Structure 1
Amino acid sequence: MLEIKNINVYYGVIHALKNISLKVQEGEIVTLIGANGAGKTSTLRTISGLVKPSDGSILLDGKEISGINAQEIVKMGISHVPEGRRIFPDMTVLENLELGAFLRRDKAEIKKDMEKVYERFPVLGRRRKQLAGTLSGGEQQMLAMGRALMSRPKIMLLDEPSMGLAPLLVKEIFEIIQDINSQGTTILLVEQNANMALSIAHRAYVLETGSIVLEGPAKELAQSEDIKKAYLGG
């Protein structure tokens, strides 16, 4: 479904991504783990068109997307839930969700999807007229995910969904990610909580200083002594 081939990204003289290659098959949860500054967020931003690679290729369903602007990439079926949520705090919950469907014109289907979001995240339904900036961190994360779902993505890019959340909320967010995946949305997950990420993912890639150093089935990587020492507190 999504294939990245030999992507290089520079920020000025800094070589942020070095010949990154990875694949995400339809229906999978694939996770990228690694330390701060490893290139995880840069990888997602490059896929979604917010950062332009200097070379390499990004294919969605076999079609090259690396030169396409971010708006068109959303239309093609990729939605991005950014690090730090990036909801619009001075707009209501409802208005944030409507913005997720900004590129769509199928009003009846948008209404159905809005109801699905409220079913999945009941708190958003109860607070639809509330300013998004007044929500708790966990509620804002749910809103960011709901907003992304409103574009009807084939694949969702999730950047640090557990950041700053209490352990019980982290568990809930990861259950929601699994539920979204079970309903047919493919997931590419960036997450510092490697234990949680590896527990729900099908496959994983490990990034270090802009390079992929390890890849494989998530359950196997979770048992790797090197991974345990570096990322799992083993």
Structure 2
Amino acid sequence: MLEIKDLHVKYGAIHAIQGVSLGVDEGEVVSLIGANGAGKTTILHTISGLVKAASGSIELLGTNLLKTNPSAMIRLGLAHVPEGRRIFASMTVDENLEMGAFVRKDRDAVREEIREIYERFPRLMERRNQIAGTLSGGEQQMLAIGRALMGRPKLLLMDEPSMGLAPILVREIFKIIQELKASGMTVLLIEQNARLALSIADRAYVLETGRIVMEGNAQELLENDQVRKAYLGA
């Protein structure tokens, strides 16, 4: 579904991403793990068009995303749940979900899918008319996921979904990701809790200072001594 080849990204003199190649197959959860500053978020931002690549290629279902504008990316089936949620804080929960479907014209279907989002996230239903900026961190993360799902994505990019959340809410968010996986959703996941990310992923890539240094089956990486020492505190 997603294929990245020899991707290079530069911020001025800083060579942030250095020849990264990776792939995500349909129905997979693939995790990118690495220390802060390794370049994980930069990769997601480059996929979404928020950061310009210096060279390389990124293809979603055979379409070159580096030559595609963001609204066309959404129509192709790309959705991004960004680090820090980035909800529309001054809008209501309901309005945020409607914004997730802004490229769609099938308004009756949009309302039906908002109803389905509320079924998936009952807490959002209780707060549908509440200003989104007043929600708790966990509720905002649910809203960010729900807003992304309103675009009917084929590939969901998720950046640090557990950041800043209490452990009980982290478990709740990861249960949601597992449910999305079970429904057939394809996910590229960045997560500071490497153990949790590897426990639900099919495959993973380890990123260090802009380069892929290891890749493989997530369970095998979870048991790898080098990964355990570097990222799992063991």
Fold equivalence (TM over 0.5): yes
Cα RMSD of the aligned pairs, angstroms, is: 0.7
- Structure 1 position 129 matched with structure 2 position 148: no
Map of 1:158 onto structure 2: 158
Deviations 1:70-108 (A, max 9, x none): 221111100000000000111100011100000100112
- Structure 1 position 69 matched with structure 2 position 69: yes
Map of 2:142 onto structure 1: 142
Map of 2:104 onto structure 1: 104
Paired residue secondary structure (1:32)? strand
TM-score, length-scaled by structure 1: 0.99
Structure 1 segments of 4 or more deviating over 6 A? Answer: none
- Alignment gaps of 5+ in structure 2: none
CA distance in 2, matches of 1:23, 1:171: 27
Map of 1:179 onto structure 2: 179
Map of 2:114 onto structure 1: 114
- Alignment gaps of 5+ in structure 1: none
CA distance in 1, matches of 2:90, 2:63: 37
Cα distance, 1:184 vs. partner? 2.1
Cα distance, 1:110 vs. partner? 0.7
Map of 1:168 onto structure 2: 168
Cα distance, 1:45 vs. partner? 0.5
Matched AA of 2:59: L
Paired residue secondary structure (1:66)? helix
TM-score, length-scaled by structure 2: 0.99
Matched AA of 2:50: L
Map of 2:208 onto structure 1: 208
Cα distance, 1:217 vs. partner? 0.4
Cα distance, 1:36 vs. partner? 0.4
Paired residue secondary structure (2:36)? coil
Cα distance, 1:122 vs. partner? 0.5
Map of 2:95 onto structure 1: 95
Deviations 1:123-159 (A, max 9, x none): 1111000000110000000000000000000010000
CA distance in 1, matches of 2:105, 2:167: 39
- Percent same amino acid among aligned pairs? 62
Map of 1:29 onto structure 2: 29
Map of 2:42 onto structure 1: 42
Map of 1:54 onto structure 2: 54
